Chains A and B, each alone.
Chain A
Amino acid sequence: GAVVSQHPSRVICKSGTSVKIECRSLDFQATTMFWYRQFPKQSLMLMATSNEGSKATYEQGVEKDKFLINHASLTLSTLTVTSAHPEDSSFYICSASRGGLRFGANVLTFGAGSRLTVL
């Protein structure tokens, strides 16, 4: 089955530093990857959609200069939280798809998530 690997699973950093989170599709080529943020006991909030080789599309209210997304290849997307602050502490999850939302397909495969704590 489709597997998405996300690293690191947990990261603690000091305020003002930048943190990079990687999302890799291990056994398929992901034309589109998605980045979500999840607060405790809340649902997933889509931050941005990235397509390989093009700029990411950010959701309203998400600062693109703070959350830098790069989708350099069909198997790798990265999210960099720049100049992180305590309010950026959250659970970040990526997901990947091969293509369109096809009936019967495993439409989205999620990574295990990355818990960011900014001190």
Chain B
Amino acid sequence: QKEVEQDPGPLSVPEGAIVSLNCTYSNSAFQYFMWYRQYSRKGPELLMYTYSSGNKEDGRFTAQVDKSSKYISLFIRDSQPSDSATYLCAIAKDSNYQLIWGAGTKLIIKP
């Protein structure tokens, strides 16, 4: 079993829709949860960063962590074509940067 599972998609939705991206993980010791966005042929850029459980909101983006279910989500409201990218979740147990990466979900927002 992989430590982090993420559906690679692609996920295609119309512009303006609410997007839900998810990852599940297997080890309850993970404490740090991150979402990165990666455009084609570019490096990943950090979108959201959450420590422990709960929700975090930043503009149109909301990150949610449910440690009891070992489930993390990223919601995008009012999705735009410019949101089309691959979204990677990454988790870590502690501060030594040993990130465990999800496979990435390719998101396509249709105009």
Q: A and B from one assembly?
A: yes
Interface residues of A (CB under 8 A from B): 4, 6, 32, 34, 41-46, 49, 91, 93-95, 97, 100-113, 115
Q: Is B88 positioned at the interface, with any CB of A under 8 Å from its CB? A: yes
Q: What's the nearest-Cβ distance from chain B to residue A30, in Å?
A: 12
Contact between chains at B97 and A49 (CB < 8 Å):
yes
Query: If A103-B51, A107-B49 touch, does A44 touch B32 (CB 8 Å cutoff)?
Result: no
A83–B49 Cα distance when bound, in Å, is 39
Q: What are the interface flags for B67-111 relative to A under an 8 Å C-beta threshold, 1 for contact and 0 otherwise?
A: 000000000000000000000100010111111011110100000
Q: Is B34 positioned at the interface, with any CB of A under 8 Å from its CB? A: yes
Report A-chain residues with C-beta under 8 Å of the C-beta of B96.
101
Contact between chains at B42 and A113 (CB < 8 Å):
yes
Q: Is B14 positioned at the interface, with any CB of A under 8 Å from its CB? A: no
A112–B39 Cα distance when bound, in Å, is 10
Q: Bin chain B's interface residue count.
A: 20 to 34
A105–B90 Cα distance when bound, in Å, is 15
Contact between chains at B43 and A102 (CB < 8 Å):
no
Report A-chain residues with C-beta under 8 Å of the C-beta of B8.
41
Report A-chain residues with C-beta under 8 Å of the C-beta of B43.
4, 6, 93-95, 110-113
Q: A6-B43, A94-B43, A101-B32 are in contact. List 13 more A-B contacts (CB 8 A).
A: A41-B106, A42-B104, A43-B88, A46-B98, A101-B92, A101-B96, A103-B51, A104-B49, A106-B46, A107-B34, A107-B97, A110-B44, A115-B41
> Out of A6, A34, A101, A110, which one reaches B45, CB within 8 Å?
A110
Interface residues of B (CB under 8 A from A): 6, 8, 32, 34, 36, 41-46, 49, 51, 88, 92, 94-99, 101-104, 106
Report A-chain residues with C-beta under 8 Å of the C-beta of B94.
101
A105–B51 Cα distance when bound, in Å, is 11
Contact between chains at A43 and B97 (CB < 8 Å):
no
Query: If A101-B95, A101-B97 touch, does A44 touch B46 (CB 8 Å cutoff)?
Result: no
Contact between chains at A42 and B44 (CB < 8 Å):
no
Contact between chains at B42 and A43 (CB < 8 Å):
no
A103: nearest chain-B partner, CB-CB = B51
Report B-chain residues with C-beta under 8 Å of the C-beta of A49.
97
